[in-house]
Structure 1
Amino acid sequence: MSSALPAFLSAFALVFLAELPDKTTISTLVLTTRYRKGAVWTGVAAAFAVHTTVAVAFGSALTLLPEQVVSVAAGIMFGIGAALLLRAGYSVTSDTGKDAMRSGPGTTSFLSGAGASFGLIFAAEWGDASQLVTAGMAARYGQPIAVGLGSFAAIAAVTALAIFVGGKLRDRIRPQLLQRAAGFLFAGFAVYAFGAAALA
């Protein structure tokens, strides 16, 4: 149980860093222009609850394998996450989706807004960096509940930030710089995991 808190804090920090500049933040900003804030947060949070559960279950299953195999699997997942983030961080930005929704919030029901938000994020986030790192950390720490709670807490925090701060977030924070930082951090974790596998 002693590693539960470090697992929670590590998962929170890494997923928060990965999600802050992610397409999820931009999607949430766009959704907020059309639907009620509470509906958007509920839909996005529900979608990520499903994704986090799947990632933790996959990572927990890896703990049944030999330690060397687990380290290699975790390294691969961190490596994929690093590649996704670095690719996004060094790509040319676009304003796709910025003007996708223009109708004001409050014109549709809560369930419609939550359903639309859930559907968009649920479809878009499979294989996302945060899901991969959650699976990798669940395998590495052997603390699925702590990792799952840390990951979900980070996603909920980023979603709330995107909703309440709104468009100002994109004006004050350069998403590409954060994506690059997160990508290099993930790459470091991948190297560490592969090193642990070599020494096992």
Structure 2
Amino acid sequence: MESSLLAGFTKSLAMTVLSEIGDKTFFAAAILAMRHPRRLVLGGCLTALIVMTILSVLFGWAAPNLISRKWTHHITTVLFFGFGLWSLWEAFTGDGESEELAEVEAKLDADWKAGTAGSKGTSKDNEDLKKQQKIFLTQFFSPIFLKAFSITFFGEWGDKSQIATIGLAADMDPFGVVLGGIIGQALCTTAAVFGGKSLATQISEKMVSLSSGVLFLVFGFQSFLASSAAAAAEL
């Protein structure tokens, strides 16, 4: 069974990049960065994704201790095939429009308007308070940072990339999966924050779904062949 650090790193990196480009959290980071300081948005989004990646890998690493490694390998194989077919279905049935971008933008617009309306009457009262909030911890855990963190963290919870990361960590080197996942998340989040909405609108969702679907199917076939080879070796 292939479980080297390099294999875990490359699979996790490729899977993360193709899963996160054009994802809801990608669009959210791009839109938030247009309205707030980029460093706070990048910090909040990236911190949430790193925490999510580490938690997913820890769960996947512990899974073989709860379920036999043989069964975790089979479950991972099924997940890869399932996500591959799901992504291909999205690629061929989608209408080509950025529905996720419109959905995320509408939600953030509503939050933005509500926050702006609520702050008009209290701007003077908060002026002195804001002057006192210049210490490092207050700047780091600012409302913008926490907003970016919460939107990203809960947006990723239960996403197929998280489940796929758990499956990879259960079947491959956990450190390689963590490293590949974090680098992939950093690349996508940085592109979203500094590329802005213009980059998000130029992404072909169909091609991303098609590429990720093919990648998941390749991972599924590799996992299936590895389990078949292991079973043959036992005979």
- Aligned twin of 2:127: none
List alignment gaps of at least 5 residues for structure 2.
Answer: 113-118, 120-129, 131-138
- Aligned twin of 2:124: none
Q: TM-score, normalization: structure 1?
A: 0.84
Deviation digits for residues 38-87 of structure 1 (CA, Å, limit 9, x no counterpart): 11111111211221122101211233344421221211332343355345
CA-based RMSD of the aligned residues comes to 2.7
SS at match of 2:211: helix
List alignment gaps of at least 5 residues for structure 1.
Answer: none
- Aligned twin of 2:175: 145
Asked if the contact 1:52–1:134 (Cα under 8 Å) also holds between the matched residues in 2, the reply is yes
- Name which of structure 1's ranges 56-65 and 86-95 shifts more when overlaid on structure 2: 86-95
Greater relative CO, 1 or 2 (CA 8 Å, sep 6+): 2
Deviation digits for residues 125-184 of structure 1 (CA, Å, limit 9, x no counterpart): 11212212211211221x112211210110011000011111221343212211121022
SS at match of 1:166: helix
Asked if the contact 1:21–1:179 (Cα under 8 Å) also holds between the matched residues in 2, the reply is no
SS at match of 2:103: coil
SS at match of 1:76: helix
Provide closer, same or farther for how the CA distance between residues 66 and 81 of structure 1 changes in structure 2, counting only shifts above 3 A. Answer: same
SS at match of 2:35: coil
Q: After superposition, where does 1:143-182 map in structure 2 within 5 Å?
A: 143-182=173-212
- Aligned twin of 2:149: 118
Residue 189 (1) aligns with residue 219 (2): yes
Q: TM-score, normalization: structure 2?
A: 0.73
Residue 63 (1) aligns with residue 48 (2): no
1 CA distance for matches of 2:152 and 2:223?
29
Asked if the contact 1:80–1:129 (Cα under 8 Å) also holds between the matched residues in 2, the reply is no
- Name which of structure 1's ranges 23-32 and 153-162 shifts more when overlaid on structure 2: 23-32
Asked if the contact 1:81–1:132 (Cα under 8 Å) also holds between the matched residues in 2, the reply is no
- Aligned twin of 1:96: 103
